[in-house]
Amino acid sequence: MINRMKKLPCIILLTCCAAVSVRNSDVAALNDLQHRADESVKSGNNEGYVALLTDDAVLMPPNGPALVGKEKIRIWGQRFSEEFTIDSYESADQELIIAGDWAFRRSNIRWAVRPKAGGNAIPSEGKYIIIYRRQPNGSWKIARDIFNFNGSN
């Protein structure tokens, strides 16, 4: 019995280290996914962004209805890309929470969009929440994307 008790701290330590290692790999995977999403948005690569979504993804843009499914999100993104280019884009994470097969990121955003029809860039500040879902193969995809702007932007 005493011999078993001596092994218990090692088992607990190994279990804790394994959990941290999984969590660190999830954080790295989620940060990479978000980086690819940000790069797709900044460059106007709508198809690149849509590829990062779950089939049942929901986009909740400001001043509009929720868009359910990749096809509706694709159409919204195409229209946005036809009307605007993104001059600048910065996001700052406030938190990243992982809970099993779901995770969410809360961030602040500062960007400027320029109408393709002409005119000055329109700066805006706001915030977003992205909800991720782990896929059966262990990878992560974006399941929900919700954003809005501060003040009258």
Chain centroid, CA 31 distance in Å: 8
Q: Which domains does the chain have, with CATH numbers?
A: 26-149 (3.10.450.50)
Query: Using CA of residue 128, residue 37, residue 39, residue 32, what is the dihedral sign?
Result: positive
pLDDT higher than threshold 50 for residue 55: yes
Rounded CA-CA distance 152/77 in Å is: 22
In this structure, are strands 140-149 and 53-60 parallel, antiparallel, or unpaired? parallel
Contacts 24+ apart (CB under 8 A), 117-124: 117/83, 121/87, 121/88, 122/153, 123/88, 123/153, 124/149, 124/150, 124/153
What would the pLDDT profile of 2-50 be if each residue is shown by its tens digit? 554 454 444 343 334 444 444 789 999 999 999 999 999 999 999 999 9
Give pLDDT, residue 153: 54
The residue type of 94 is: Q
What's the predicted TM-score (pTM) here? 0.82
Give pLDDT, residue 75: 96
Give pLDDT, residue 152: 62
Contact 112, 86 (CB under 8 A): yes
* 53-62, 66-75, 144-153, range with the lowest pLDDT: 144-153
What would the pLDDT profile of 74-119 be if each residue is shown by its tens digit? 999 999 999 999 999 999 999 999 999 999 999 999 999 999 999 9
Give pLDDT, residue 151: 80
Query: Using CA of residue 83, residue 78, residue 58, residue 100, what is the dihedral sign?
Result: negative
